[in-house]
Structures are given as structure tokens and as C-alpha cells.
């Protein structure tokens, strides 16, 4: 029984270690370009993104690249949103501060308790 156990352990060791008792190099599990470079990142790009996994977790350089790209695009979008909000606020201020282009009818002025304008 002991001889059979030693034979099984030896066969498993040879099968695992393969050529000459050394482990083969693992194939690199890395995406060449996980996010599109020619357009802004969309929700579908993030949903489809699969980061490469290593024995200790995700590849730090791949994660850093993705996070840097997303941070840059979010900063660009935040700046554009702030620019558009400022333009909208300026347009609203201009519309509220501009004199009325519509003349009030004398009958409407009297209804509001004002003297009709001549």
C-alpha cells in the first residue's frame, strides 16, 4: 500500500512540475487596450471591461491605467458641466434683467391697479 501511495504522489509531482521539474511560465493575462482611445468612455465600455487577474489579485498597472483614464474623463465632463451651468445662469440673468419687450395692454394695467400708459 505504501508503494502505491509513493507511486501516486510521484506521478502527481511529475504531472504538475512537467518539464524537468520546473513550472511553466504562465501566459500573460493582460488586455492590450481595455478602453477605447478614439472616443470618450461610455457606460457599456465600463460594463464590458474585464481586468486581468494575477495570483495576488488584479494587475496594478492595468487598474491604475483605467482609473487614471476615468479620472481624466470625469474631470473633463465636470469642467464642461460647470461651463454649461455658468452659461445657463448668465442667460437666465440676462433674460430676467432685460426690459420687457411685450407692452401691457391698458385694460390689463387697469386690472392690476396701475394707470394706463400713453
Task: Give the pLDDT confidence of 82-109 residue by residue, as tens digits.
Answer: 999 999 999 988 888 765 555 555 555 5
> Are the beta carbons of 34 and 51 closer than 8 angstroms?
yes
Helix or strand holding residue 87 (H, E): helix 60-97
> Are the beta carbons of 66 and 34 closer than 8 angstroms?
yes
Three-state SS for 53? strand
Confidence band of 79 (pLDDT split at 50, 70, 90): very high
Judge whether 13 lies within some domain.
no
Judge whether 71 lies within some domain.
yes
Three-state SS for 54? strand
Q: Write out pLDDT tens, residues 20-54.
A: 556 566 565 555 567 787 888 888 888 888 777 77
The residues with which 54 forms a beta bridge, in sequence order, are 57
Judge whether 41 lies within some domain.
yes
Judge whether 34 lies within some domain.
yes
Residue ranges making up the domain that contains 87: 30-95
Judge whether 42 lies within some domain.
yes
Judge whether 38 lies within some domain.
yes
Which position has the higher pLDDT, 24 or 78? 78
Please check the confidence at residue 113 and state whether its pLDDT lies above 70. Answer: no
Q: How many domains does the structure of the chain reveal?
A: 1
Judge whether 117 lies within some domain.
no
Judge whether 23 lies within some domain.
no
pTM of the full structure:
0.48
- pLDDT mean over 1-23: 76
CA distance 67 to 59: 12
> Are the beta carbons of 116 and 106 closer than 8 angstroms?
yes
- DSSP class of residue 43? H
Amino acid at each position: 500500500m505504501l508503494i502505491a501511495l509513493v507511486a501516486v504522489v510521484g506521478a502527481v509531482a511529475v504531472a504538475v512540475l512537467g518539464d524537468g521539474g520546473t513550472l511553466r511560465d504562465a501566459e500573460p493575462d493582460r488586455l492590450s487596450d481595455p478602453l477605447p482611445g478614439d472616443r470618450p468612455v461610455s457606460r457599456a465600455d465600463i460594463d464590458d471591461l474585464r481586468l486581468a487577474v494575477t495570483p495576488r489579485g488584479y494587475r496594478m498597472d492595468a487598474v491604475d491605467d483605467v482609473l487614471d483614464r476615468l479620472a481624466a474623463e470625469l474631470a473633463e465632463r465636470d469642467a464642461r458641466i460647470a461651463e454649461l451651468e455658468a452659461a445657463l445662469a448668465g442667460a437666465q440673468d440676462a433674460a430676467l434683467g432685460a426690459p420687457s419687450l411685450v407692452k401691457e395692454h391698458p385694460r390689463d394695467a387697469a386690472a392690476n391697479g396701475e394707470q394706463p400708459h400713453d
